[in-house]
Amino acid sequence: MIIGEIRRYLRDYNTIRVSRSVRDLAYKVIAVREKLSNEKQTEVTNEEIAKVLEVDKKDVDMALDAIADPVSIFDPVYHDGGDAVYLMDQISDEKNTDENWTESIALSEAMKRLGEREKRILKLRFFEGKTQMEVAEEVGISQAQVSRLEKSAIDNMRRNI
């Protein structure tokens, strides 16, 4: 009864909620890993554990990841007596920088100031990658008109940005 209460407490008050089936699989994986390691006297792979438990390797990986303690991005990963290097310092996102954010917002605001026809032409040209001829056919105007409208829309957007 005491063990059951301890398990219930750990299950209900853990930082991240993990389903009972995943948690049970993780504990089975750990038990099998320990047993096989003792028998073979070598490190056991997740593929070997998956074969013994008759489950997919992805399920074994997921179960082990699910019970791992979460790591803070403010945890130091290296410290040699000087300034510590934190996990946050090692993570970078080239795609979602502050500069890209502001450019995206400015572009979106500038697009709102265009007419419906100009918006459609720019979306077809730059977001769907169509040629001026393809846009002309779809919109029902000449290629020369598409070129003029596109140039005019881009100029308007530059002024608004």
pLDDT of residue 20 exceeding 90: no
Could you give the CA distance from residue 36 to residue 45 in angstroms, rounded to a whole number? 10
Look at the domain 2-73+85-89 and name its fold: Arc Repressor Mutant, subunit A (1.10.10)
Intervals of CATH 1.10.10.10 along the chain? 2-73+85-89, 98-160
Q: Which range in 4-13, 53-62, 69-78, 87-96 is most confidently predicted, on average pLDDT?
A: 53-62
DSSP secondary structure of the chain: -HHHHHHHHHHHT-SS---HHHHHHHHHHHHHHHHHHHHHSSPPPHHHHHHHHTS-HHHHHHHHHHHSPP--TTSEEE-SSSSPEEHHHH---STT-HHHHHHHHHHHHHHHTS-HHHHHHHIIIIIS---HHHHHHHHTS-HHHHHHHHHHHHHHHHHH-
pTM, 2 dp: 0.44
How distant is the alpha carbon of residue 10 from its chain centre? 28
Domain 98-160 architecture? Orthogonal Bundle (1.10)
pLDDT tens digit sequence for 24-77: 899 899 999 999 999 888 888 999 999 999 999 999 999 998 888 777 888 887
Tokens standing for residue 90: 């090692």
Is residue 152 scored above 80 in pLDDT?
yes
Query: For position 42, what pLDDT does the model report?
Result: 87
Provide DSSP, 71-96. Answer: --TTSEEE-SSSSPEEHHHH---STT
Report the pLDDT value the prediction gives residue 131, as an integer from 0 to 100: 93
